[in-house]
Amino acid sequence: MSSGNGRLAGERELRSREKRYDDLDIRTLSREDRERYAEEWNRLEQHFVDRPNESVGEADRLVTRVMRDRGYPVEDFEQRIKDLSVEHATTLEQYRAAHDVGLRSGRGGATTEELRGAIVHYRTLFRELLGNPGSESRHHGTTRHDAA
């Protein structure tokens, strides 16, 4: 395949992802929800020293709950990645790496340093998803491109 065809295929894939994303009902969290989730995250981080494997699993579940509450479909991990790529592309590799460490930690195959890195990666996406009201205003009167 030529690089031109690859570029066109990539552009088609991006348009497809953007269309799917535009069809989703992505919403900002209320101040109360953001505060509640932030408290949960703080507890999770406090427990990391004593329970690193469990904390990584909790981080994955918490990020997934925030995504669900924001309106993202969460049933399939690969689809989550595609949906997140529209607004959170810069953190996707970190999210994927954290998820992979979480899977390995469930089988006892992750080091403490890898688990620590996973928590840091999850925290990055978690903070983006929590955001501030209007930080992703695409569904509130402006588009991704207008906000850029």
Give how far the C-alpha of residue 86 lies from the chain's centroid of Cα atoms, to the nearest Å: 11
Per-residue model confidence as pLDDT tens digits over 58-106: 999 999 999 999 999 999 999 888 888 888 888 989 999 999 999 998 8
pLDDT for res 40: 98
Strand intervals (E) in 26-131: none
In this structure, what token pair is assigned to residue 40? 């949960």
Integer Cα distance of 96 and 34 in angstroms = 23
pTM of the predicted protein model: 0.79
Which amino acid is located at 89 in the chain? A
28 vs 14, residue with greater confidence? 28
